[in-house]
Amino acid sequence: QVQLVQSGAEVKKPGASVKVSCKASGYTFTSYDINWVRQATGQGLEWMGWMNPNSGNTGYAQKFQGRVTMTRNTSISTAYMELSSLRSEDTAVYYCARGSKTPRRMDVWGKGTTVTVSS
């Protein structure tokens, strides 16, 4: 079945970087975008950006420009999201979500990766 399996929880110190992975299975990885969405505890959802696994093209929300990098390894059908210069406000659950183009929607989500930023 179609699924996105994310890496495990991370604990980081302020100023560090974190890299979260998202492994796709059950479909052709390069045929769908991967989006990243985060959610702080008890808060709403925040879209961070997207990546086209075929071309490697990316688009980031301005809020994260300069701090986020989305990459992929097509040989293992895995997308990555790296966030640098971490601060306490980055403590959240980070989700990857498949972006279908026809029709456009985020239709399959990973279970989420908890990132805690604490000194």
Partner 1 sequence: DIQMTQSPSTLSASVGDRVTITCRASQSISSWLAWYQQKPGKAPNLLIYKASSLESGVPSRFSGSGSGTEFTLTISSLQPDDFATYYCQQYNGSPWTFGQGTKVEIK
Is position 19 an interface residue for partner 1 (rule: CB under 8 A)? no
Query: Which one of residues 3, 67, 84, 109 is an interface residue with partner 1 (CB under 8 A)?
Result: 109
DSSP 8-class letter at 29: G
Is position 44 an interface residue for partner 1 (rule: CB under 8 A)? yes
User: Smallest distance, Å, CB 104 to partner 1?
Assistant: 6
Query: Which one of residues 59, 87, 88, 101 is an interface residue with partner 1 (CB under 8 A)?
Result: 59
DSSP string, 48-107: EEEE-TTT--EEE-GGGTTTEEEEEEGGGTEEEEEE-S--GGG-EEEEEEEEEETTEEEE
Length of the chain: 119
The nearer residue to partner 1, 49 or 53, going by C-beta atoms, is 49
Is position 111 an interface residue for partner 1 (rule: CB under 8 A)? yes
Q: 14 preceded by cis ω (within 30°)? A: no
Applying CB under 8 A, which residues contact partner 1?
35, 37, 44-47, 49, 59, 61-63, 95, 97, 103-107, 109-112
